[in-house]
Amino acid sequence: MSFFDRLSNGWTIAMNSFKVLKENKQLIIFPILSGVAIFLIMASFFTSVLASAGWDFDNIAIAEQGSPVYYLLLFAFYIVNYFIVVFFNMALIHCTRLYYRGEEVTVAKGLRFSASRIGAIFSWAFFAATIGLLLRTIQENVGMFGKIITGLVGIVWSVATFFVVPVIAYENAGPLEAVKRSSAMMKQKWGESLGANFSFGLIQFIGMIIVGLPLFFIGNIFSPIVGIGLAVAGVFTVMAVISAAQTIFISAVYHNITGDPVKHFNQQMVDQLFDKK
């Protein structure tokens, strides 16, 4: 299949993901909750640091880069970040599963399911944070060559963990087993190019411009701060919609590969999205 055929197919699947989101608008709450939770945790962290410095910005000293305290704080941030993202993504994926099965979809059901898998989520967050910290350490201490290597490893890691969230949600797999299972699914059904991700990226870029710029200019009539605030809110909303659609896409493909029927998607489309080499 040609590059442009792949993009066309990816675009179709992306649009189908938006159809699912349109029929279940409440699903957008999950990426919003994820973003808000991460923001609040970061805000509370910096507030604590500022308070310990006597509310004097000049006296703020978190940790010297490269020190044990620096890496400990970075590791803790990675764990919290991965935990929050996976928790809410898993809740969204479970809601899509309910939808595919014709069952009632509610935010509460998604959150309850993620809460029931909280141990698996934390195990994955700890594992992923360890990998992230190792890559960050290499990147900061090996120079340009290290950045190139970690960049390539990061790409491989992203591909290998594509199906990790639904795997740890439904297959009771540990972190390492989840990576192996996700990688095997990629090798079984997928190939070299992510047409759908290109489509999502393009839609997000266009959406941020279409939504963000008008809101900025409208708000700027009253105050530059209002303009910036409205633009940020608009861009955040666009990102939340795209994030929800991408997670729906992952859920749909996972359930399609495992043999579960999914509305708005078909096996031929999934098979063609990524050509085998």
Six-digit token string for 59: 């006296």
Strands (E), 2-76: none
Six-digit token string for 67: 């020190």
CB 27 within 8 A of CB 92: yes
Amino acid at 100: Y
User: Which pTM value belongs to this model?
Assistant: 0.83
Task: Report the distance separating Cα 78 and Cα 228, nearest Å.
Answer: 28
Task: Report the distance separating Cα 91 and Cα 110, nearest Å.
Answer: 4
Each domain of the chain, given as residue ranges in start order, spans 3-273
What are the two backbone dihedrals, phi and then psi, of residue 182, each rounded to the nearest 5 degrees? -60, -45
Task: Report the distance separating Cα 215 and Cα 209, nearest Å.
Answer: 10
CB 26 within 8 A of CB 107: yes
Q: Which residue has the tokens 């994030």?
A: 243
Task: Report the distance separating Cα 130 and Cα 18, nearest Å.
Answer: 34
Digit-by-digit pLDDT tens for the chain (277 residues) are: 555 665 666 677 778 888 889 989 999 999 999 999 988 888 887 777 666 656 655 555 555 666 677 788 889 989 999 999 999 999 999 999 999 888 899 999 999 999 999 999 999 999 999 999 988 888 777 777 777 888 888 888 888 898 999 999 999 889 999 999 998 887 766 543 456 667 788 888 899 999 999 999 999 898 989 999 999 999 999 999 999 998 998 888 888 778 777 776 665 666 555 544 4
- 127: Cα within 13 Å, side-chain hemisphere: 18
